[in-house]
Amino acid sequence: MKNLLRAAAVSVASTALVAGGATVANAAPSAPAAAVSSSSSVSAAAAPYGPDAASKIRIRKVGKKLTIRLTARYFDDTIGKPVGIRKATVQVHKKGKWRTLKNVKLNSKGRAAFKRTDGKKRKYRMLVKPTSLYQGFHTRTAKI
């Protein structure tokens, strides 16, 4: 029965990934695991759960101070509610490449926040690497 539920979750997760629109201060998930990490050994069949629609990066800028807030969750069909992801990476687009800004540990609800000083306009995104339980993804870029 569990395998049947997981197979159904795989088909639902692969077709129901909803990408929200990116704004200056808000960016939602944009790509499935295959587009994020092609060298990953975890396949979509082994990782049945996709990101929750509430997974996003929010950036607020006051002067040169940035406040970056992350929310990373997946929807677990077996318990019927979203579950927090515990690790995420914040990336910044510099010199034509996405570079790791910070690896962040998230709380049990999948949330974290940190502050940084930067006077330039840059693009940011959140990257979640795939595991055996959930698919990896990255958010759309947030330029601020």
Range of the domain at 72: 2-143
Stated pTM of the model? 0.70
pLDDT at residue 20 tops 80: no
CA-to-CA dists, residue 136 to 46, 60, 68, 139, angstroms: 12, 25, 20, 10
Q: What is the pLDDT of residue 45?
A: 61
Domain count, the chain: 1
Is residue 50 within 8 A of residue 134, CB to CB? The reply is yes
* H or E element that contains 59: strand 56-62
Which class for 69: exposed (0-12), middle (13-18), buried (19 or more C-beta within 10 A)? middle
In angstroms, the Cα distances linking 103 to 14, 20, 23, 113 are 27, 24, 23, 12
Range with the lowest mean pLDDT among 11-25, 30-44, 113-127? Answer: 11-25
CATH of residue 120's domain is 2.60.40
- Which residue stretches of the chain are H helix? 2-15, 33-36
* Residue 3 scores a pLDDT above 90: no
Give the distance, in angstroms, between the CA of residue 28 and the centroid of all CA atoms in the same chain.
8
pLDDT, position 90: 98
